[in-house]
Amino acid sequence: MKLYEIAAFLGCSEIKDSIEITGMNTLRDASEGEISFLSDSKYEKELFDTKASAVILPASKIHLLPFGVVALTSDEPYMLVAILSKQFAKPVQSSTVSPVIGEGSCIYPTAHIENGATIGKNCTIMSGVYIGSEAVVGDDVILYPNVSVYRDCKIGNRVMIHAGSVIGSDGFGYAHTKLGEHVKLYQNGNVIIEDDVEIGANTTVDCAVFGSTIIKQGSKIDNLVQIGHNCIVGEYSILVSQSGLAGSTTLGRNVVMGGQSATAGHLSIAPFTTLAARSGVTKSIVTKGVYSGFPLMEHKIWLKMQAKLAKILES
């Protein structure tokens, strides 16, 4: 899509530049030929060295753009991003190349592997599994029945995913009109699951809006867990059943999340942190330790508080 076509589509028809725009991305990750955006001033400093060819942003921020980057100005940049994201949304099927299946792999007859997908060696892809276009599955992987892997996702070696889990479903992102309607931000990223990860049954891992949601090597995720878009789960982390990560949160390595615990979005959790069952994290955790409660506190303080509450109750 030519930049002037995008501009016209978004109501910025004064832009006449005919550069070909191949995709959307964040300021930090955009490369030449991509369009980016500034919708939250905390990312302002990423304007200076963005490689994007064009940026959607408020008029007041134009002076921060590097020389040669085209500005599409708007009071509601996030809404324009949502509207534009649909233009770059990839179709469910986008390849005519038959899937490649590695030696020794067993594909059940009711599994559905899209064209353009690649399956490694010695995999077991059981009944009802879906593997999307351009998805890549490593060696010695077992996908139990009715697992769904959306397009473009990458699954490492020796990964085991239990029945009914969903990898790469759309992240939950919308721009909101003044009338309270929600405009979908198409999620054009993927999920990367590294080697030796095990994922339980009926767990959901959303794809990134741009870039990747990443489950790092050796992590173990239980049943009915929710991993939001653009999360990063550090190496050897453990997420117990019914826990949840809101979008863009990063866990360091060896983080343990107890059952039904959860974090808000855009947080960072220090490596080797343990979050007790049912804990709720609303701020980043810088110092490793054992934390409990909602609001979250150090576990030993939580125990103290419970003792104090018990005393108050008796009085």
Indicate whether 278 belongs to the interface with its own copies (CB under 8 A): yes
Chain residues 63-102 in contact with its own copies, contact rule CB under 8 A: 92
Q: Find the radius of gyration of the CA atoms of the chain.
A: 22
Shortest approach of its own copies to residue 46 CB, angstroms?
A: 27
Residue 180 within binding range of its own copies, rule CB under 8 A: yes
Shortest distance in whole angstroms from residue 162 CB to its own copies: 4
Shortest distance in whole angstroms from residue 224 CB to its own copies = 5
CB of 15 to its own copies, least distance (A): 30
Restricted to residues 181-200, the positions that interact with its own copies (CB under 8 A) are 181-182, 184, 198, 200
Q: Counting contacts by CB under 8 A, is residue 60 touching its own copies?
A: no
Unique residue bearing structure tokens 């929710």: 226
Distances 130 to 110, 126, 148, 186 between C-alpha atoms, Å:
9, 9, 5, 21
- The residues carrying an active-site annotation are 229
Q: Which is nearer to its own copies, 62 or 309 (CB)?
A: 309
Judged by CB under 8 A, the number of residues near its own copies is: 71
Report the DSSP beta bridge partners of residue 215: 193, 233
State in angstroms the smallest separation of the CB of 217 from its own copies.
9
Residue 149, classified by CB atoms within 10 Å of its CB into exposed (0-12), middle (13-18) or buried (19+), is buried
Q: How far is the CB of 27 from its own copies (least distance, A)?
A: 26
Question: What residues numbered 201-240 form the site for its own copies, per CB under 8 A?
Answer: 201-204, 206, 218, 220, 222-224, 226, 228, 236, 238, 240
Per CB under 8 A, which region of 3-11, 41-49, 79-87, 275-283 contacts its own copies? 275-283
Largest CA distance in the chain: 76
Per-residue x/- marks for its own copies, 125-154, CB under 8 A?
Answer: -xxx-x-----------x-xxx-x-x----
Sign of CA dihedral 299, 301, 304, 305: negative
116 near its own copies, rule: CB under 8 A: no
Closest to its own copies by CB, 232 or 281: 281
Is residue 124 at the binding interface for its own copies, with CB under 8 A as the rule?
A: yes
Contact between 286 and its own copies (CB under 8 A)? no
CA angle, corner 280, sides to 254 and 189, nearest 5? 65
**Which 244-273 residues touch its own copies, going by CB under 8 A?**
244, 246, 253-254, 259-260, 262, 264, 272
